[in-house]
Amino acid sequence: MPKHALRRVMTASVALAGTLALGLTDATAHATPSLDYVALGDSYSAGSGVLPIDLTNLLCLRSTANYPHVIASATGARLKDVTCGAAQTSHFTQAQYPGVAPQVDALSTGTDLVTLTIGGNDNNTFINAITACGSAGVLSGGKGSPCKDRHGTSFVDQIENNTYPALKAALRTVRDKAPNARVAALGYPWITPATADPSCFVKLPVAAGDVPYLRDIQTRLNAVVERAAEETGATYVDFSRVSEGHDACEAPGTRWIEPLLFGHSLVPVHPNALGERRMAEHTMSALGLS
């Protein structure tokens, strides 16, 4: 090869190498760093009842297919999952079981993202309301509103008077422990339809007049989660619209929440695998994560 041609080839090679190096440097500079992600919360966060079970802590009945794992898989985040079935807001700062540390102990100044679903177990709101209204529905043959007639505003009073301040305190503690993190407080997807579905009574034995009563209780719970989030600088992830038509009365493949009876999950009245995936997807959309 003539010398002048060889020089042109060498010059072009050097230029190409420089361009590639600059491209790699630019790509590295603009690459999204992996998020340090901590998942907190109760059984809706833990995916209790969804297989497979996380064998590292059987007490918490945590699933490796819960919405935190779906988010981490989709985003490449480094996940520390300390969600635990039956958790209350108090378990953010107190041990729930022997050997299970307070949930906020997982947070640090290096935490980038926190998600949580919490509040439904405070005052035993969910379990007491479902149990009371299910029992009353069976005894009434599905007629009237026996649960509402007996309990009136007691559930929403507890939510306002006890759960709301506890949520604010818990979210402030999260902020103190992870001051640099983006915190997302998720609402609860709908458990019941807006009005009674007679065909659902065998799966969710709640009297016709108590179906909207239960829905109103959940509406109030989600409202205080939203209020507490706004007042502590967290992002509230609202499921009221996207979970409509995916309640426990819907057919398998459509419902996100399993019914009280004849469901397909180990834990009734909780999200199934589809529900956990949809919770993850909507949360990522709300937070602008990809």
User: Is the same domain home to 7 and 108?
Assistant: no
User: Is the same domain home to 92 and 236?
Assistant: yes
User: Is the same domain home to 222 and 240?
Assistant: yes
Whether 270 is catalytic: yes
With 0.95 as the threshold, say if the pTM is over it: no
User: Is the same domain home to 40 and 7?
Assistant: no
The C-alpha atoms of residue 52 and residue 244 are separated, in whole angstroms, by 27
Domains in the chain: how many in total? 2
Catalytic residue chosen out of the listed positions 43, 48, 140, 243: 43
User: Is the same domain home to 68 and 15?
Assistant: no
User: Is the same domain home to 5 and 65?
Assistant: no
Give the residue numbers spanning the domain of 2: 1-31
pLDDT in tens, the chain (290 residues): 444 443 443 344 434 334 434 443 443 334 456 999 999 999 999 999 999 999 999 999 999 999 999 999 999 999 999 999 999 999 999 999 999 999 999 999 999 999 999 999 999 999 999 999 999 999 999 999 999 999 999 999 999 999 999 999 999 999 999 999 999 999 999 999 999 999 999 999 999 999 999 999 999 999 999 999 999 999 999 999 999 999 999 999 999 999 999 999 989 999 999 999 999 999 999 999 97
CB 130 within 8 A of CB 269: yes
Q: What is the CATH number for 199?
A: 3.40.50.1110
User: Is the same domain home to 41 and 23?
Assistant: no
User: Is the same domain home to 45 and 103?
Assistant: yes
Whether 30 is catalytic: no
User: Is the same domain home to 138 and 255?
Assistant: yes
Catalytic residue chosen out of the listed positions 13, 270, 285, 290: 270
User: Is the same domain home to 3 and 40?
Assistant: no
User: Is the same domain home to 194 and 236?
Assistant: yes
User: Is the same domain home to 22 and 85?
Assistant: no
Distances (CA, A) of 53 to 98, 115, 285: 20, 20, 26
